[in-house]
Amino acid sequence: METRLNNEYKILVCQSTGCESSKSDKITQALETQIKQLELSKNVQVKFTGCHGFCQQGPIVIVEPEGVFYTQVKEEDVPEILKSHIVDGKYVERLFYHNPVTGEAISLYKDVPFYSRQQRLILRNCGHINPEKIDDYLATGGYAALKKAIFEMQPTQIIEEISRSGLRGRGGAGFPTGKKWEEAYKAKEQPKYVVCNGDEGDPGAFMDRSVLEADPHSVLEGMAIAGYAIGTPNGYIYVRAEYPLAVKRLRMAIAQAKERKLLGSDIMGSAFSFDVEIMQGAGAFVCGEGSALMYSIEGKRGMPRVRPPRSVASGLWGKPTSLNNVKTYASVPLIINRGADWYRSIGTEGSKGTAVFALTGKIANSGLIEIPMGATLREVVFDIGGGVQESKNFKAVQTGGPSGGCLPESLLDLPIDFESLTQAGSMMGSGGMVVMDTDTCMVDLAQFFLKFCSNESCGKCVPCREGLPLMIDIMKKITQGEGEPDDINRLINLGETIKSGSLCGLGTTAPNPVLSSIRYFEDEWKAHVIDKICPALVCRALINFYILPDKCAGCGICLRACPVEAISGGKRMIHVIDQEKCIKCATCLEKCPTRFNAIVKVTGEHITVPKEPVPVGTEAK
């Protein structure tokens, strides 16, 4: 701790999956080398952190004590940051964040609207501590809650506190955590298990990954408190195989916590022991479902089973098991430290606390956000998210992952909590929130979700296994312009049957995106089925590309780029697309120089063009 006093500056570099793929590790290296060369080591400390959440602007570098926020930093920017900011005290303005709406440059982290409107509790340490150093976590008051729990509280008191806080499962279903712990506590059978579900399979979601990468100890501490409360030394954490960095940081965190006697046997000299073993998933979405996840740990095919019995009575290896999500465990130390009353003061009547969302899709500010329950979709999409990318128009927001629903503009003022989202035909889910603009086709998107769920169906229940492919067949017909008027009703009927005839969360919710999409975007569906057009210009069978004869300069760029040689032309000749050969990949549209803008994409419209290439300037008749 003393060393910090001698240092004037601290440079924080984000090193999570998002920023690392933008080469942020190179920035850390460059900073370290150049700080040595400039002999600044006494005054400047470089620290890498976990996810700041604002991944789209990454790599992100924050210079403290001022809290100056630099975005999209490259290795080449390092000398300027050091020379200008650190040595001369002049901020590097060109790296400031620019408000996408007003264009205004914002210098300080705390003033960026993306952050200033959030309430970061679960993400409290993300981006502020080095996840690979337990001392960083301890310095923020880490493991104080575990100490308090073990030395000052009885298990029943802990369960009472969690119950009273109103904490509900952050994995999506929203089951009251205190109730689950109480049942697990009362179960007589031994051994019992505490399991953490980090099998974040929803496409478009990375909340759990970010927490595990940026603040692994908060999850471990929450698990240890759960272990003490229900009376078990056995913990498992199940992490997706696709998250290697999260696994690496968890491994380090467990080892460091054991070294300090914060995990392992006789924690902090008490009689309580608790150990956590990491289990890596093997790429099956359905394993996010509790019973399937436990089968997977046992080394079986991850197929959900009939309930009851619930897992608190018969879970892992048939023993009482308390299974909670990553974010649920990360919330626990806060509640123990600050009390149930404090936690209850945040959120709505039925949903207490905060919710973390991965805000992605066609949104200006993509990233990881946290809001109090009850905030509206509008606040999230427009105030924090900065609205739709490239000033296009908002169309829908999808919550709850592939089995959630798409909500239209008319529902933007809906307060976000477990109940309201379910009533609107979507769900809270684990926290994916994908924004669509008017270029997104709702029919195509519904088909995308349905294909995903069908692929991931474990095959146990017939309605899910056979019904989803039937729905996909109908949707294929619709997107190919062969839909029949009754197809929409057929989809609704099939969807309802699948929902009522499937066992687990996957089957009972898989038709949701289709059903909610039909409910809110019926006109778009009818356009596909009846008019055979795709208003968003996405469904390939319903769109065409044309080269406008009055704009084509005959440069030949599109001709060379076309992957299927569907374009004919020659030097200074108006080029022509062979509609039979065209696969509608849009490469020509992208390659056509903006000064010509000669290529258009249309639906249900025929544009007159010459049959054969003719010289530029010849009127196309």
Partner 1 sequence: MATDLREQMREILAPFQGRQVVLIPALQAVQEKFGYLPEAAMEEIGRLAGLSANVVYGVASFYAQFRMTPIGKKHVAVCQGTACHVRGGARILEAIERAIGIKAGETSPDLQYSLETVACIGACALAPTLRINEDTHGKLTTNEVEQLFPKTAKQEEISNS
Measured in whole angstroms, the distance separating CA 375 from the mean position of its chain's CA atoms is 18
Q: Which of 47, 85, 209, 319 binds partner 1 (CB under 8 A)?
A: 209
Q: Which of 155, 171, 304, 367 binds partner 1 (CB under 8 A)?
A: 367
How far apart, in whole angstroms, are the C-alpha atoms of residue 453 and residue 284? Answer: 11
Helix axes 155-165, 326-338, angle to 10 degrees: 100
How far apart, in whole angstroms, are the C-alpha atoms of residue 123 and residue 358? Answer: 12
Q: Which of 15, 49, 58, 177 binds partner 1 (CB under 8 A)?
A: 58
Q: Based on CB atoms, which residue is closest to partner 1, 146 or 195?
A: 195
Q: Based on CB atoms, which residue is closest to partner 1, 298 or 605?
A: 298
How far apart, in whole angstroms, are the C-alpha atoms of residue 193 and residue 201? Answer: 23
Q: Based on CB atoms, which residue is closest to partner 1, 272 or 452?
A: 452
- Kindly report the backbone phi and psi dihedral angles of residue 24, in degrees, each rounded to the nearest multiple of 5, phi listed first: -75, -20
Task: Decide if residue 21 touches partner 1 (CB under 8 A).
Answer: yes
Q: Which residues contact 150 (CB under 8 A, 6 or more apart)?
A: 228, 267, 268, 270, 272
Nearest to residue 355, comparing CAs of 111, 141, 168? 168
Q: Among the residues of 153-243, which ranges form H helices? A: 155-165, 177-186, 207-214, 216-230
Q: Which of 203, 231, 350, 415 binds partner 1 (CB under 8 A)?
A: 203
How far apart, in whole angstroms, are the C-alpha atoms of residue 211 and residue 195? Answer: 16
Q: Based on CB atoms, which residue is closest to partner 1, 374 or 431?
A: 431
Q: Which of 195, 205, 330, 503 binds partner 1 (CB under 8 A)?
A: 205
Tell me the C-alpha to C-alpha distance, in Å, between residue 581 and each of 55, 561, 564, 614: 40, 14, 7, 20
Tell me the C-alpha to C-alpha distance, in Å, between residue 484 and each of 419, 475, 491, 532, 615: 35, 11, 12, 10, 44
Q: Which stretch binds partner 1 (CB under 8 A): 53-61, 223-231, 320-328, 478-486?
A: 53-61
Q: Which stretch binds partner 1 (CB under 8 A): 166-174, 266-274, 327-335, 394-402?
A: 394-402
Cβ–Cβ under 8 Å, residues 270 and 151: yes
Q: Which of 127, 131, 155, 201 binds partner 1 (CB under 8 A)?
A: 201
> x/- binding map, residues 219-238, to partner 1, per CB under 8 A?
-----------------x--
- The least distance separating partner 1 from the CB of residue 379, rounded to whole angstroms, comes to 19
- Maximum pairwise Cα distance, the chain: 91
Q: Which stretch binds partner 1 (CB under 8 A): 87-95, 199-207, 251-259, 525-533?
A: 199-207
Q: Which residues contact 359 (CB under 8 A, 6 or more apart)?
A: 365, 366, 367, 368, 369, 380, 381, 384, 385, 433, 435
Q: Based on CB atoms, which residue is closest to partner 1, 201 or 467?
A: 201
β-pairing, 9-14 vs 61-64, is: antiparallel
Task: Decide if residue 200 touches partner 1 (CB under 8 A).
Answer: yes
How far apart, in whole angstroms, are the C-alpha atoms of residue 404 and residue 406? Answer: 7
How far apart, in whole angstroms, are the C-alpha atoms of residue 562 and residue 571? Answer: 16
How far apart, in whole angstroms, are the C-alpha atoms of residue 36 and residue 43? Answer: 11
15, two tokens: 């090193």
How far apart, in whole angstroms, are the C-alpha atoms of residue 216 and residue 153? Answer: 24
Q: Which of 102, 590, 615, 617 binds partner 1 (CB under 8 A)?
A: 590
- The least distance separating partner 1 from the CB of residue 157, rounded to whole angstroms, comes to 31
> x/- binding map, residues 305-334, to partner 1, per CB under 8 A?
------------------------------
256, two tokens: 């460091």
Task: Decide if residue 190 touches partner 1 (CB under 8 A).
Answer: no
Q: Based on CB atoms, which residue is closest to partner 1, 330 or 336?
A: 330
Q: Based on CB atoms, which residue is closest to partner 1, 17 or 314?
A: 17
Q: Which of 70, 96, 137, 206 binds partner 1 (CB under 8 A)?
A: 206
Q: Which of 136, 161, 182, 202 binds partner 1 (CB under 8 A)?
A: 202
Residues of this chain, 273-292, that bind partner 1 according to CB under 8 A = 277, 279-285
Task: Decide if residue 436 touches partner 1 (CB under 8 A).
Answer: yes
Q: Which stretch binds partner 1 (CB under 8 A): 52-60, 155-163, 412-420, 493-501?
A: 52-60
How far apart, in whole angstroms, are the C-alpha atoms of residue 236 and residue 315? Answer: 12
- The least distance separating partner 1 from the CB of residue 253, rounded to whole angstroms, comes to 19
- The least distance separating partner 1 from the CB of residue 304, rounded to whole angstroms, comes to 13
Tell me the C-alpha to C-alpha distance, in Å, between residue 78 and each of 29, 398, 493, 500, 504: 10, 39, 59, 58, 51
- The least distance separating partner 1 from the CB of residue 55, rounded to whole angstroms, comes to 3
Q: Which of 322, 366, 502, 508 binds partner 1 (CB under 8 A)?
A: 366
Task: Decide if residue 266 touches partner 1 (CB under 8 A).
Answer: no
Task: Decide if residue 440 touches partner 1 (CB under 8 A).
Answer: yes
Q: Which of 90, 94, 261, 301 binds partner 1 (CB under 8 A)?
A: 301
Q: Which residues contact 49 (CB under 8 A, 6 or more apart)?
A: 12, 13, 14, 15, 126, 127, 128, 129, 130, 131, 214
Task: Decide if residue 65 touches partner 1 (CB under 8 A).
Answer: no
Amino acid found at 529: V
- The least distance separating partner 1 from the CB of residue 598, rounded to whole angstroms, comes to 18
197, two tokens: 């579900």
Residue 415, strand partner residues: 376
Measured at the alpha carbon of residue 442, what is the angle toward residues 438 and 445, in degrees to the nearest 5? 115
Task: Decide if residue 382 touches partner 1 (CB under 8 A).
Answer: no
How far apart, in whole angstroms, are the C-alpha atoms of residue 346 and residue 349? Answer: 9
How far apart, in whole angstroms, are the C-alpha atoms of residue 385 and residue 395? Answer: 14
Q: Based on CB atoms, which residue is closest to partner 1, 77 or 202?
A: 202
Q: Based on CB atoms, which residue is closest to partner 1, 158 or 441?
A: 441
- The least distance separating partner 1 from the CB of residue 432, rounded to whole angstroms, comes to 7
Q: Based on CB atoms, which residue is closest to partner 1, 186 or 451?
A: 451
Q: Which of 24, 311, 325, 360 binds partner 1 (CB under 8 A)?
A: 360
Q: Which of 96, 115, 243, 520 binds partner 1 (CB under 8 A)?
A: 243
Residues of this chain, 396-435, that bind partner 1 according to CB under 8 A = 398, 401-402, 432, 434
Q: Which stretch binds partner 1 (CB under 8 A): 261-269, 333-341, 449-457, 520-528?
A: 449-457
Measured at the alpha carbon of residue 330, what is the angle toward residues 147 and 165, in degrees to the nearest 5? 80
Burial class (CB in 10 A: 0-12, 13-18, 19+), 313: middle
Q: Which residues bind partner 1 (CB under 8 A)?
A: 17-18, 20-22, 54-56, 58, 200-206, 209, 236, 241-244, 277, 279-285, 296-303, 358, 360-362, 366-367, 398, 401-402, 432, 434, 436, 440, 445, 448-449, 452, 455-456, 458, 563, 585-587, 590
